[in-house]
């Protein structure tokens, strides 16, 4: 299998030298993030097991990956046959499973990308009782690591949505993370063709520490009646050069995920008025308006 990996990497590698930090990667959670991580891991030469709760969800994940790969292939290859081969080879590197237990016995890296809920994440790691770098938006890595026995082999990988397009990867170490693990995670980031940055295990790491207050102030502006959703989005795109306004981005991230993140922040910082729950966000999630994934959020979408 290692040989296969190497030959694939030779065929499709960019100019960057790969470290081949890990060969087999298990991604747990096949939603927006897990699918994107699995896709990029496979397209950069890793063999991937993608795990979610049932085969219907996994079917949707694989469809999404296929569509995204076709978009990538269109840009990457002038020759359609080469593009088709890239999509087929990449898909062939991904297998699916409904339990992580069978995969982790032979994997080099476990990436957790399940729902943003500390107890659910801790329960998963208790079950795995193994190495587990993870993808959380805002939960401190140290809090999740409580459930891991081998903390020296535990660290945080924060990818960005959409994973195939966003170049950044935040790599977080906790005091218990060994130098060897941290170095391997950085090397893995390079293998995934991402630019890595690191910071302390501080709330929201770098990006979300700045993004969350910005997004929240946008929603408060609308709640106060200061400006409309459309005008806020237009202003931030044309006046600040952002590719999406805060409400378009919220729909893209998923309003349920946003609510999980905000609920965590307001629980951890009850005295900070900045992180108070948003009644608008709560109401929309209760109505099932979750953004693009449900067909409606701040804006309507074709299903």
Ligand X SMILES: NC(=O)C1=CN([C@@H]2O[C@H](COP(=O)(O)OP(=O)(O)OC[C@H]3O[C@@H](n4cnc5c(N)ncnc54)[C@H](O)[C@@H]3O)[C@@H](O)[C@H]2O)C=CC1
Instruction: Catalogue the active-site residues.
Output: 137, 158, 170, 208
264's tokens: 């965590």
Question: Could you give the string, one character per residue 43-62, with x where binding to ligand LJ3UWUTL holds by CB under 6 A and - elsewhere?
Answer: --------------------
Flag whether 184 is marked binding.
no
Q: Which of 27, 41, 103, 258 binds ligand LJ3UWUTL (CB under 6 A)?
A: 258
> Distance (Å, rounded) from C-alpha 9 to C-alpha 286?
45
CB 196 within 8 Å of CB 189: yes
Of 9, 36, 11, nearest to 20 by C-alpha is 9
> Is 177 near ligand LJ3UWUTL (CB under 6 A)?
no
Stretch that binds ligand LJ3UWUTL, among 4-12, 97-105, 140-148, 255-263 (CB under 6 A): 255-263
Q: Count of residues binding ligand LJ3UWUTL (CB under 6 A)? A: 31
> If DSSP states are collapsed to H, E and C, what string results for 10-46?
HHHCCCCCCCCCCCEEEEECCCHHHHHHHHHHHHCCC
> Distance (Å, rounded) from C-alpha 143 to C-alpha 122?
8
Site for ligand X in 204-263 (CB under 6 A): 253-254, 257, 261
In 83-142, which ranges are E strands? 94-97, 109-112
> Distance (Å, rounded) from C-alpha 83 to C-alpha 136?
32
Of 239, 257, 225, nearest to 137 by C-alpha is 257
Q: Which of 41, 87, 124, 212 binds ligand X (CB under 6 A)?
A: 124
Q: Which of 27, 28, 94, 219 binds ligand X (CB under 6 A)?
A: 28
Flag whether 283 is marked binding.
no
Stretch that binds ligand X, among 72-80, 156-164, 195-203, 271-279 (CB under 6 A): 156-164
CB 192 within 8 Å of CB 67: no
What are the residues facing 24 on neighbouring strands?
47
Residues near ligand X (CB under 6 A): 28-34, 51-53, 57, 113-116, 120, 124, 135-137, 159-161, 253-254, 257, 261
Residues near ligand LJ3UWUTL (CB under 6 A): 68, 71-72, 75, 137, 160-162, 164-166, 207-208, 211-212, 215-216, 218-219, 243-244, 246-247, 249-250, 253, 258, 261-262, 278, 281
């Amino acid at each position: 299998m290692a040989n296969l990996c190497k030959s694939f990497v030779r065929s499709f590698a960019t100019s960057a030298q790969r470290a081949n930090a890990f060969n087999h990667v298990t991604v747990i959670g096949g939603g927006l993030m897990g699918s994107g991580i699995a896709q990029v891991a496979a397209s950069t030469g890793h063999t991937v097991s993608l795990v979610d709760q049932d085969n219907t969800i996994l079917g949707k994940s694989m469809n999404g990956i296929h569509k995204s790969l076709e978009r990538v292939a269109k840009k990457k290859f002038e020759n359609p046959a080469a593009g088709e081969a890239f999509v087929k080879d990449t898909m062939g590197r991904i297998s699916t499973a409904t339990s992580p237990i069978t995969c982790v016995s032979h994997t080099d890296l476990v990436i957790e990308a399940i729902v943003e809920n500390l107890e659910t994440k801790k329960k998963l790691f208790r079950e795995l009782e193994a190495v587990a770098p993870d993808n959380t938006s805002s939960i401190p890595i140290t809090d999740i690591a409580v459930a891991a026995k081998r903390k020296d082999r535990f660290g945080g990988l924060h990818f960005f949505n959409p994973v195939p397009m966003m170049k950044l990867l935040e790599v977080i170490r906790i005091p218990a993370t060994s130098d060897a693990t941290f170095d391997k995670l950085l090397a893995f980031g390079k293998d995934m063709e991402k630019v890595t940055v690191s910071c302390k295990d501080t709330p929201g790491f770098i990006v979300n520490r700045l993004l969350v207050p910005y997004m929240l102030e946008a929603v408060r502006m609308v709640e106060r009646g200061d400006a409309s959703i459309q005008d806020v989005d237009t202003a931030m795109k044309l006046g600040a050069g952002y590719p999406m306004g805060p409400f378009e981005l919220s729909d893209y991230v998923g309003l349920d995920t946003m609510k999980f993140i905000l609920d965590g922040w307001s629980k951890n910082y009850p005295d900070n008025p900045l992180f108070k729950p948003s009644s608008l966000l709560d109401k929309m999630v209760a109505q099932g308006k979750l953004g693009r994934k449900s067909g409606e959020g701040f804006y309507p979408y074709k299903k």
